[in-house]
Structure 1
Amino acid sequence: MATKIPDAPKIGMVSLGCPKNLVDSERILTKLRSDGYQMSADYAGADVVLVNTCGFLDSAKEESLEAIGEAMAENGRVIVTGCMGDEADVIRAKFPQVLAVTGAHQYEQVVNAVHEASPPIPNAFVDLVPEGGLKLTPRHYSYLKISEGCNHRCSFCIIPSIRGDLVSRRIDAVLREAEKLVAAGTKELLVISQDTSAYGVDTRHEPRMWKGREVRAHMTDMARELGQLRTADGVAPWVRLHYVYPYPHVDHVIPLMAEGLLTPYLDIPFQHASPSVLKAMKRPANEAKVLDRIRKWRDICPDIAIRSSFVVGFPGETEADFQYLLDWLDEAQLDRVGAFRFEPVEGAAANDLPGAVPEEVKEERYQRIMEKTAAISAAKLQAKVGRVMPVIIDEVGEPDEEDGSIGATARSQADAPEIDGNVFLRDVGEGRKAGDMFDVLIEDADDHDLYGVPV
C-alpha cells in the first residue's frame, strides 16, 4: 500500500517595523520553510499567524496591537514576536488568547512555539532538511534555499507534483540572504534545493547586479560569490553544496574547492548504479563516466568528500543489479553513504512497475549495502588519523567531575550536520562555544566518526 503524503501546515505572517525586524522575519520563515511549512497568503488559510511587532515608538506599539487584534479576529491562532514581545503583559492583558509571546531576535522560541501550535510533518519523501534538523538551526549554520521544485520526473518521486517545476530565486536575493546570515553569525552555509545543479535553468541564468558587477543565476557563479563572503572576524564561512546532480558544469566547482572558496564536499543523489535500475527510475544513467569524473575531481581536490544516497529493492532490481551497485561502490569509494529501502508513495509512477522486491530481500540488501559502505568509511577515516584538520563545534560538554576536562562534539569539512559523522574532541579548554572553528589533531577513528584534540 502506498504512503499518502499529508498536507503541510500553513503559516501566515505580518512583519512591522525596521529592516532588522524584516531580517528576523526572513530568518524565521526560511527556517519554517525548511521544516516543511507552507506560507499562507492570507490569515484565513493559515494554521498559525505570526505577528512580528515593533515597539520603538508609542505609535508603533499602537500599530502592533492593531495588527495582533486583526490577526486574532481573522484567525485566532496567533504567535507574537519582535520588539514589543518584551512587553508580554501588555499584549496578554489585551489578547489573553494569544498562543505565545516572544521577544526580539528569539528565533528558537518562535519556531518552537510554531512547532507546538501546529507540529511540522517530517517527510522523508519531500523534505530537504534532515529530520533531526527540525530543531531551530543553531546560529552557526544555516540552510540557504536557492530554488523550489524540480524538472526531473523520477519514477519514485512526487516532489514535482507537490512543489511543481523548478523555480529559481534571483541570484541577488540568494546572495543578499547569505550575506545577512553570515553577518548574523552563520559560520556554515548549507546550499539546498531539489536540484542545485539546475539552479537558474528556468530563468536562462538571468544575470543581476551584485556589488557593482553582473552575476548569473548559475551554480558556479553563485558558488564563486559565496566563496567571497567573510564573517565579522574576517573568516571565510564554510559553504556546502547539497543535492548536486552530476551535470558537466559541476566539474567547474571542484577548482573552487581546491582554492578554498568552497567546502570540499559534494552531496550527489546517485540513487543507484545499475543501468537497468536507473532507467526504470528515469534517472540519467552514465555511471561509468561518473567514476572517471570522480577520479578527476579527486585529482584536482584530494580532500573532496562525496556523499550520496541509494535506494535498494526498487521494483525490478535483480541480485545482479544489486551486486553491480556494490561493485560500483567499491570503485567509487564514496566518503558518506545513506541507503533507503524502496517504499511506494502515493502518486509515484514506480508503484505500477512490475517486479516488486519482497520485503525480506530488501532488508537483506539494505544490511549488505550498509556493511559495505561502513567498511569503506572506516578505511577512509582511519587514513585521517594523525592529520591536523579544521573543525566546527556544534556542542560543548560539561566539565568532567573528576579532572574538570571539557569535551565537545564537532564536525570536519567532510561532515554535514545531522546526516554525516562527528569529530569528538577531548580537552577543548574553557571558553569554547558552538560555532568556534579551529584545527585539531585526529587521534582515532571508528566506522563513522573521528576523535581528536585541539592543536
Structure 2
Amino acid sequence: MKTRTLQRDKVNIITLGCSKNMVDSEVLSGQLRANNIDVVHESTKKDHNIVVVNTCGFIDKAKEESVNTILDQVALKKKGRIDKVYVTGCLSHRYREDLEKEIPEVDAWFGTMELPLMLKRFEADYKAELLGERLLSTPQHYAYLKISEGCNRTCAFCAIPLMRGGHVSRSIEDLVKEAEGLVRRGVKEILLIAQELTYYGLDLYKKRMLPDLLHRLADIKGLEWIRLHYAYPSKFPLEILDVMRERKNICNYLDMPLQHASDNMLKAMRRQITKAEMTDLIHTIRHRVPGICLRTTLIAGFPGETAEDVEELKGFLQEHRFDRVGIFAYSHEEGTSAYGLEDSIPADEKQQRAQEVMEVQQEISYEKNQEKVGQVFRTLIDKKEAGRYLGRTEFDSVEVDNEVIIHSQDKLPIGDFVDVRITKAYDYDIEGEVVRAS
C-alpha cells in the first residue's frame, strides 16, 4: 500500500476495552506480520505511519475513551505525523454510519468481523493457516485464548450481541492446536475467554463441551495454569467442577458475573436465574471444589433499582464472601431491551451505590487476605517494578485481581514460578518472601 511517505509502512495497533479485543488485535498483528508488514502494539516510539484503533463500545465510559483516542490519532494525522488512521472493533461496528459523518478524517471503518476486509487495505491476504500465530501483546508467559465469539443470551442491559453477533464456538481441535503453539512459544498460563464460556460447543456439537475442551487442554505438556473467565450462572454445567477438581493445571478459580442479587433486579435484567438458585449454585461450587476462588461482577443503578435492592445486594456479598468483586455503574445502551426503561437514577447516585457495595467487598477482601498470612502459595512472577517483583497465585487473574508483592535480593526470572510465604496483607494485595523455587 502506497502512502505519501517513502519509508516502509509500519502499523501501530491501539487496543481499548476487554481481553477479547486484545486477542483480535493480536490476530491482526500476526496477519500483518505474515504479509511482511511491520507492526507494533501501542508503541511509544512514534516511528509508525499508520494507526489502527481497536475500539470498545460496551458502556458510555468506554465509548468516550474510544472516541477520544480516535480524535487524538486524527489530530496527529492532521499534523502530518502519521499517514492513515483505521478504526475497528465494537464501537466502529455499532456506530459506523454516525462516526463516518462525525470524524471524516478516518480513512476507513471496520466492524468486528471484517478482518479480511481490513487486510485488503494493506494489500494483504488473510492467511487461514495462521492458527494461533499472533503477536502477543501480553508478557510471553501468559496469553488469552478466545474459545467462542458472540452471545445468545438476552440480558436486558447488554449490547454485546449487537456488536459481536450470536454465539459461534471454535472447534476443540483448533483451540488445542493454538494452545499447543502458545506453549511452544513459552506460554505457561492460558486464560480462557468468551462472552459466555458455559455455552461453548452447543452450536458445533449440540451439547455443552467446555468440560471436554478443558480435559484436552489440561493434557498439553508444559501448560501450567488454565483459568476460566465469564461463566454464566443459569444452567451452569456442573461437570466443569469435576474437571477442575481432577486436573491439577486447571486453576481453582471461576469468574462468574452475577450482576445482582435482588430477584426484582435479576428478573428485570433478564438473567434467567433467581437469588435462591444462585445461592444453591455457589454452595455447590464450593462443595465440589473446596478452596475455589470465586470472582463476580455486579451492576449498580439498573432502572428501577431501589435502596432496598442495594441493601439486599450488600447482604448477599456479606453472606457469600466472594474472593473478588468488580462493579459497573449501569450504562443506558440503545438497542438493548432495557433501553425502553426509564434511566431515572442520576449518574452520581449510580456511582455512590457502586461505592457502597465495594466498601462492603473491600472489608471482605481484607479479611480474606489476612487469612493468607503465614501460608505458602505457588506464585507466577509477572514483572519487576520499583525494585520489587509482582506475581500472582492461581487465585488471581491478570490486572483485575490481587498481586503478590515480593521483595527478593535474588533474581526471579519473569514467567517463573516460586513459592512465597505471605507476611503481610492489604485490602487487595498481599506481600511475602520467597521460600524456594517452585
Match of 2:230 in 1: 243
Match of 2:167 in 1: 166
Distance change (3 Å), C-alpha of 1:329 and 1:136: same
What is the SS of the residue equivalent to 1:285? coil
- Once residues 191 and 50 of structure 1 are traced to their aligned partners in structure 2, the CA distance between those partners, rounded to angstroms, is 22
Match of 2:320 among 332, 337, 341: 332
Shift of 1:347: 2.1
Match of 1:120 in 2: 54
What is the SS of the residue equivalent to 1:266? strand
Match of 2:424 among 444, 447, 451: 444
Distance change (3 Å), C-alpha of 1:176 and 1:135: closer
Distance change (3 Å), C-alpha of 1:421 and 1:180: same
- Once residues 32 and 364 of structure 2 are traced to their aligned partners in structure 1, the CA distance between those partners, rounded to angstroms, is 50
Q: How far does the alpha carbon of each residue in 1:343-373 deviate from its partner, in whole angstroms, 9 at most, with x for none?
A: 1123222122136212332122111101001
Q: How far does the alpha carbon of each residue in 1:303-330 deviate from its partner, in whole angstroms, 9 at most, with x for none?
A: 2111111000000001111111111111
Confirm or deny: 8 A CA contact 1:35 1:122 kept in the other structure.
no
Shift of 1:295: 2.1
1:270 aligns to 2:258 (yes or no): yes
Specify the structure having the higher radius of gyration (Cα).
1
Match of 1:318 among 306, 331, 335: 306
Distance change (3 Å), C-alpha of 1:205 and 1:185: farther
- Once residues 155 and 162 of structure 2 are traced to their aligned partners in structure 1, the CA distance between those partners, rounded to angstroms, is 11
Q: Map residues 41-52 of structure 1 onto 2, 5 A cutoff.
A: 51-52=32-33
Q: How far does the alpha carbon of each residue in 1:77-109 deviate from its partner, in whole angstroms, 9 at most, with x for none?
A: xxx44xxxxxxxxxxxxxxxxxxx36xxx8897
- Once residues 197 and 205 of structure 1 are traced to their aligned partners in structure 2, the CA distance between those partners, rounded to angstroms, is 13
Match of 2:402 in 1: 421
What is the SS of the residue equivalent to 1:327? helix
- Once residues 256 and 326 of structure 2 are traced to their aligned partners in structure 1, the CA distance between those partners, rounded to angstroms, is 11
Distance change (3 Å), C-alpha of 1:342 and 1:32: closer
- Once residues 304 and 20 of structure 2 are traced to their aligned partners in structure 1, the CA distance between those partners, rounded to angstroms, is 38
Normalized against structure 2, the TM-score is what? Answer: 0.71
Confirm or deny: 8 A CA contact 1:408 1:428 kept in the other structure.
no
What is the SS of the residue equivalent to 2:395? coil
What is the SS of the residue equivalent to 2:55? coil
- Once residues 114 and 351 of structure 1 are traced to their aligned partners in structure 2, the CA distance between those partners, rounded to angstroms, is 41
What is the SS of the residue equivalent to 1:410? strand
- Once residues 210 and 293 of structure 2 are traced to their aligned partners in structure 1, the CA distance between those partners, rounded to angstroms, is 19
What is the SS of the residue equivalent to 2:237? helix
Match of 2:349 in 1: 361
Distance change (3 Å), C-alpha of 1:270 and 1:113: farther
What is the SS of the residue equivalent to 2:177? helix
Unaligned runs of 5+ in 2: 1-18, 67-134
Shift of 1:36: 5.5
The letter for the 2-side match of 1:421 is: N
Shift of 1:280: 1.0
The letter for the 1-side match of 2:393 is: S
Confirm or deny: 8 A CA contact 2:300 2:350 kept in the other structure.
yes
Confirm or deny: 8 A CA contact 2:58 2:160 kept in the other structure.
no
Q: Map residues 48-447 of structure 1 onto 2, 5 A cutoff.
A: 51-52=32-33, 80-81=36-37, 101=38, 117-125=51-59, 136-205=137-206, 218-231=209-222, 236-259=223-246, 260-354=248-342, 356-397=344-385, 407-427=388-408, 429-430=410-411, 432-447=412-427
- Once residues 436 and 152 of structure 1 are traced to their aligned partners in structure 2, the CA distance between those partners, rounded to angstroms, is 39
Unaligned runs of 5+ in 1: 1-30, 41-47, 54-66, 68-79, 82-100, 207-216, 399-405
- Once residues 196 and 185 of structure 2 are traced to their aligned partners in structure 1, the CA distance between those partners, rounded to angstroms, is 27
Q: How far does the alpha carbon of each residue in 1:11-35 deviate from its partner, in whole angstroms, 9 at most, with x for none?
A: xxxxxxxxxxxxxxxxxxxx89535
Shift of 1:257: 2.6
Cα root mean square deviation, aligned? 3.2
Percent identity for Structure 1 against Structure 2? 35
Confirm or deny: 8 A CA contact 2:265 2:305 kept in the other structure.
yes
Distance change (3 Å), C-alpha of 1:369 and 1:258: same
Number of residue equivalences: 345
